[in-house]
Structure 1
């Protein structure tokens, strides 16, 4: 496949395939829906609110990890003087390795997200809010990295594209990386579904496909979409396309496949542990992180 075919592949993976997968689920679970018990249990809206706050926290922590690991390798190279900001980084000086180190942020977020997801799936005990935070950290890490790898062949001026150019990757190699990243998007989203469903406070909330779709929407999809507006203050001032495009892409890419695949987890086991959803703590941490971003990181921290 040539590079010019990648936009079609992106459209297939992010639009056509999830729609087809959802329709497949609808067809396969018709009998299950006929036997479903209704009405569903009342929804705990505190969980949705806490989920929104935890996603705001996780997204910005992961973005900080990405920018920090773009800066730290450059700080170790003689002749480069990087500066870390709340929504970006910059550097002065020149060194050939600077182009390679434009890829270290993507690598860091990808590994961080996978590690959080592995931790989450390995242990289904503990406070629900903590496991939900791990879920959003895994979600943010992987879905912040994979779209950058998928577009690296199309945007040579982007971070991943510049690292690929330094490594001497030709069109075929860059296209292969992009395709592997696109394939990984649904696989990782479906991998995260099980621990998300385990956070249900009542087995009836995830007992059948319709209940699971409702649960995923109220526990993850809706909170994540609403959280985009709360992420904006962490990223301003900057051009609006830069302020919005990263949280929109990260959020939509992930929740589309979470929602489309909710029917698939037919044997969800509700996990153990506390089901309290404290609001004051996550809100306080989000506000503290916002103050750190705007008061400390916004002026810039020089690493030289």
Structure 2
């Protein structure tokens, strides 16, 4: 079996088969909810829409952090003249360090996600909306970074793949890196799922698997799906695969595990105030960021 085949099989098992099996096992193993418990988690479309808008904001801010982390080191390197766009970056000139700096984007998003998760765990944020935004920043940072390691192990032309080649990593080292990143996906999802449920648990019934699953669905999974069409507005125009692939991978890979794990979660509420606040503020922030992406970044910002 080739290393590429091994990575492919591991990806299928962890990205698809793993959450599917866990979700089915949780559904079959969870005790049957009563009608009252089922109805305790009320549908709150204001909360769901707010969460979706906060995810749109967090995803695109994280993407911007990634691109800035790719561009700024190049701008500081003699011989490189980078340009930042709304959905990628390019550079003129040549330097052996260019390949190395293709890995700084994924590193920046991972560190951003870890920092936001730590802040959320320590109780940062005076309002439910801010705490939910920190969750989505943590989520976007982690799951924008981990898949890039897997892709980099099989594609020399990808960002992380170029950085791996700079360090002259062999096939075995790349495979190990990819398998470690894949193993981190369910661990990160469960950790973030605990943070999410701890924040929103008082909104509904979490004593039963069905109640927890429904709460995660209306708090994160459904908002993530609703956010996808809006996220694409930040990335057009470009090839369809470039517009859709990154948001789809980031959204599905993590949320599938969080949703599947929710059936077996053991989490207690840590907050009583779960009011999402007004939709106007996150909507306004999303529109302002969209204007920056499409008016300022789309023509290209030169860093030289």
Cα distance in 2 for partners of 1:35, 1:173 equals 52
Q: Deviations over 1:142-200 (max 9, x none)?
A: 10000010121111110010100110000111001100100111101100112211232
- The question of whether the paired residues in 2 share the 8 Å contact of 1:116 and 1:137 is answered with yes
Match of 1:25 in 2: 26
Match of 2:160 in 1: 160
Cα distance in 2 for partners of 1:201, 1:5 equals 39
SS in 1 for 2:286: helix
TM-score by length of 2: 0.95
- Residues 1-304 of structure 1 correspond to what in structure 2 (within 5 A)? 2-30=3-31, 33=33, 37-123=37-123, 126-200=126-200, 202=202, 204-273=204-273, 275-304=275-304
Cα distance in 2 for partners of 1:35, 1:289 equals 43
- Give the Å deviation of 1:208: 1.4
Cα distance in 1 for partners of 2:91, 2:201 equals 48
SS in 1 for 2:77: coil
Residues 135-144 or 121-130, more deviating = 121-130
How has the CA–CA distance of structure 1 residues 3 and 291 changed in structure 2, closer, same or farther, with 3 Å as cutoff?
Answer: same
- Point out where structure 2 has 5 or more consecutive residues left out of the alignment: none
How has the CA–CA distance of structure 1 residues 119 and 18 changed in structure 2, closer, same or farther, with 3 Å as cutoff?
Answer: same
SS in 2 for 1:199: helix
- Give the Å deviation of 1:38: 4.3
How has the CA–CA distance of structure 1 residues 62 and 81 changed in structure 2, closer, same or farther, with 3 Å as cutoff?
Answer: same
- The question of whether the paired residues in 2 share the 8 Å contact of 1:194 and 1:268 is answered with no
Q: Deviations over 1:192-220 (max 9, x none)?
A: 11221123263643221100100111111
- Give the Å deviation of 1:299: 1.0
How has the CA–CA distance of structure 1 residues 293 and 203 changed in structure 2, closer, same or farther, with 3 Å as cutoff?
Answer: closer
Cα distance in 2 for partners of 1:149, 1:215 equals 31
- The question of whether the paired residues in 2 share the 8 Å contact of 1:124 and 1:198 is answered with no
- Give the Å deviation of 1:274: 5.4
- The question of whether the paired residues in 1 share the 8 Å contact of 2:102 and 2:160 is answered with yes
- Give the Å deviation of 1:45: 1.2
The Cα RMSD (Å) is 1.7
How has the CA–CA distance of structure 1 residues 172 and 285 changed in structure 2, closer, same or farther, with 3 Å as cutoff?
Answer: same
Cα distance in 1 for partners of 2:104, 2:219 equals 32
Task: Report the number of matched residues.
Answer: 303
SS in 1 for 2:120: helix
Cα distance in 2 for partners of 1:187, 1:38 equals 28
TM-score by length of 1: 0.95
- The question of whether the paired residues in 1 share the 8 Å contact of 2:185 and 2:254 is answered with yes
